[in-house]
Structure 1
Amino acid sequence: SAKEFTQSVFNHASSLPPVSSPVLRDDFRQTPSDVVVAAGEPAVMECIPPRGHPEPTISWKRNNIRVNDRDERITMRGGKLMISNTRKSDAGMYVCVGTNMVGEKDSDPAELVVFERPVFTKQPVNQVVLADDTVDFFCEVHGDPTPTVRWRREEGELPRGRFEIRSDNSLRLNQVRGEDEGTYTCVSENSVGKAEASGTLQVHGKTRVQNDIEFR
């Protein structure tokens, strides 16, 4: 009968598992952590999105702009964002985004800091001078954090009382002598690296031309 058929359909429907509604929870199971690297090194950020139905997909934003994996250095796999060869321009605030049909949830931001090893923009050069001259060895360096600069002489101490390290980090030698000959090295260092550059000094004695007048 129609009544029995209706009852049968009802019984069958009630035995089916309930159809779960789409859901996206608020709390990320793992939020990305801050990362500090030196330029050229790889960087990895990891995230596990909130539980959801359907299971959320993951994307990333840097400074509120979607990260694009068309850049061959960038790989997004599972919950990992991998940058193979970091540049200063990769630094910024990264957010993991979990998405399903309910909507999007953003993780707390994590910062990628990209430091740079010291790189010379001006290096000392080899010099040949006369005794008593003043000599400048230049050394300009770029890096982040700002590198320290110091000078050393490979053959021993810097000429005592006759050298000065100037505000531009150059080394000035006053009234040079033959004993000042040697190799002068600029040493630059910060928390992610160290660099050295050298120049040599040769000192020639001044020749004094004397006119001897011979009286006969």
Structure 2
Amino acid sequence: MIQVAGWYITSRVFNGNTDSRMRFGGPSPSLAPAPVLLTPLILLLLAAACSLVNARPPCLDSEEFYYPHTGVTRPPWCDHFFNPPQFEEKPRDQRVMSDRVASFTCRATGNPEPKIQWRKNNRRISGNARFIVLQVPGGSILRIEPVKYQRDEAEYECVVENAAGDTIRASAKLEVLSDDPNSLPNGFPYFRTEPKTKAVEIDHTALLVCDARGNPDPNITWFKDNRPVDLTNPRYTVLRSGSLQISTSTEEDGGKYECVAENNVGTAFSNLVSLYVRGEYFLSTLSTSGVSTFCLRYLRQG
């Protein structure tokens, strides 16, 4: 490859023949500027800087994102760093009995991961002995236990925000009925059989019985440790009767369970019961210095 060099003086090309005092030559090595290498690491840092500088854009139907509160416009090539929050599950209105349980679930997606907070009548709930805020994958649960008649009747709001967009909100109303059975509306769910505390051996099947009635027939769900049971786990099955069957039990299945019956008249929570998953035990003999000792040992299968 042939390289051609030239010098320019006042926009005219110098060819070296005009002035014997001027000669061709390259720049002195000591004066040459150092090359700038845009390594992948530098490019990543530049992209991260872009995402940090250009935060909180609502997405408009245009080629760019605009920040009304700052006047900053972000080019669309930064878009893959951000996703405004969106609801996956909103809290629903509930009607429950006094001195029982109410539970609201709120789930949302976004990038960065959204932060969720709960409000009662527009006042933030920080959590206390009766108001419990639980974090679950992709969301949050507000549990009120025990629910107080009239005192807890209110509008509860799930507030979701992240750095990529405006705050979104969803609300639900809680109606609390007197604990007098004669005051319950017709069709309100009730339990014919509630689950009972039970112990099961590892690798065996556990069955937590729940039989609920109502008009219309209530939908049955289950909670474990105040969170919805993960029915994507193939070992967990809600039978047609409403009972929860757990196949091939493991230690992780142990915990506190409750059955929830819900129809368009109201929601009823069963008593909270415990499931204990234990291993098999066997007798063994230890012999030390001629002395035999009988020991009860725990055998964990698998």
TM-score (norm 1): 0.47
**Higher RCO (CA 8 Å, separation ≥ 6 residues):** 1
